[in-house]
Structure 1
Amino acid sequence: MADIGPSQPVKCDRYYTDRNKTTFIYGGYEGIPETLLINFCVWLLLLILFGILRKLAWDYGRIALVSRRDERETLVSESRYNVWTSLFYTDRSSLDTHTSQESLDTKIFGQDKGFCGWLPAIFKIKDEHYLRKSGRDAVQYLIFQRHLLVYTGIICILSIGVILPINFQGTLEGNTQTFGHTTISNINSNSPTLWVHALLAIVFLVIAVYFMRHFSINLRYEEDDQTSRSLMISGIPKDKCFKNLMQQHFQEAYPEVSVLDIQFAYNIGTLIKLDKNRQRAYEGKINSENIHKETGERPEMVPKMCGQVCCCCSPCGCRKVDAIMYYTDEENKLREQCEQEKVNAFRDSLGIAFVTFDNDFMAARIFSDFKTSCKGAHNPQPSTVSTELEAPGWEVKYAPAPDNIFWENLSTNKILWWTRAVIVNCILVVLLFFLTTPSILMNLLDQWNYK
């Protein structure tokens, strides 16, 4: 405890009582050990929570992986930009290596037993397993993260093994328990050891360039022929989204261009939600049927959120129902709603078209005509229906790969999307700032505030 006078500034690393007493929250090192301890406790709590939830839902999720592959089949004859084909007949996790994927799931299931059995299983999964399960983009992202981890580890070793002992040799900043004693400000400006900081800064830069160069050399790029020949056109009047009109426009404006396919995007946000709920009902039915086969008893459930883990449902009067019958009825009901919503979605066009040309040179010609110049103008060719289609106002860009399109997000308003993104990131910044910032920085903010 320590008395404080009225002229002393209030600091965030101290607890003030109504008796004009002050208690220090930390004992040294400017609160860094306490911050690390808080982060470790939060990490451990989240890890335990993840293990509990994963243990409860593992059988259900494992069966869901297999049931989704059994339920769908790939239609290679259809256009990959057909929203109905992409959504309801293919799956991002569906690959040609069906047998190898099943063996992978079986192998992981054999390794993943017990409360923490998933921890060693993570290190036994290889890149080819991730490739078959999640695609090449996921593998490249994981490889990039490995490069960052190794680079961060090298910096950490050099900083603790070389820079920190050198900084500790100085005598300019407090004692060994103050944060300033570990920084470069603790070294005399005439000391030759400052050259170590300068040299290591260059070494860190060289190592970073080497790692990024190594990553980029091994980065495999597979060009999608259909993607290079397809354009995504936005700004089409919603009541004019007809293939014959679009075909007529390109035939008249660009007679040398051959259009192979035209597909329109529709407002399918509600349809996606219904289809996902139908998938969950189907997976729940499969899980219940497997339990019935293993135990010989028909499983029961509480048809409420968290009914499986909530212990207060029975006292509250929530009745249990037959799980197989419940999920079967739910699946049939949602399937009917999906069929009805398909009809409604087909009538609600978004004014977005995916146009595939005969070759990439034709697509490049159209793209260059609609590309906005530095003067803010472009030069699309006119046709007899260009005014009706509002062609001068089109926004044309190369279409992303169909597997990389989340069709339900095309109907999201851009202003709403950016607003939501800003709010979410601001919340993350605030949370991470207060969970990872040592009190030394908070004290500096206090000092700036009182100046």
Structure 2
Amino acid sequence: SSESLRKSANWFLDFIRIKDDQILLTKGRDAYQYLVFQRYIIYFLALLSFVCIVIVLPVNIHGSNVDSIGTPFSKTTIGNLSLEKSHLFWIHAVLAAIIMPMGVFAMNHFSKVIKSDEEHITRRTLLIRRIPKFKNTKEILVNYFQQSFPDCPITGIQVIYDFNELQALELEYQNVVNAKDYCQRHNSSAPKNMTIKPYCMGQLGCCCCCCCQTVDGYEYYSERQEQINGDIKKELVNSFASPTGSVFITFQTEKQCME
């Protein structure tokens, strides 16, 4: 169980005994993907170490290209094989040709495992709409499902929010920051600071000179940046305070999701 794994101090035994379902339930999907990747790496390196110790190392030691004056370590490398006299170079080439496709196969299999797991999670997730806003919180929804469906445990709830206005503000903020940086670079290289007319078609000269005053570009965009930053904070609070009434709920099994 997960409790016994927490009490164990031997990480190798935990690595052997722990199940993928336990990782998903206790640590989440990101930890599951990382540990599965590490598992594939450990298996591949174990195979590579076995091949190097059992096959490659005796082959290198069998060579005689390094004289007795050389270091002991140099006698265990491929440099101990003579290119003209020894035919053992073929063993290195054959092993490299075998091990590299095995590594590619292992990574391909890992990607399929992760992809199949994503599809499995998708089949266990429901989109529920038209939830009253005063009940559209994770705590209320979790309590409701625990009381109404005690045999269907929930592994995740994601409330949906409307961030369209926030995305528009973010895009405008990026444009203002870029314009501010441009004005700063211009002011540092030009004798006069850049001035702008922050009005519709102001730079095209379509505005009246009396009504449309010219302002310093860097100062204008600095003030505009602070304004948009405040608008983003307000909109972020408003977005989280006003959910759309829809949620994604992930159940433990596909059967529970269908029920």
Q: TM-score normalized by structure 2?
A: 0.47
Q: TM-score normalized by structure 1?
A: 0.29
Q: If each structure's helix is expressed as a fraction of its own residues, which one has the higher value? A: 2
Of structures 1 and 2, the larger Rg is shown by 2
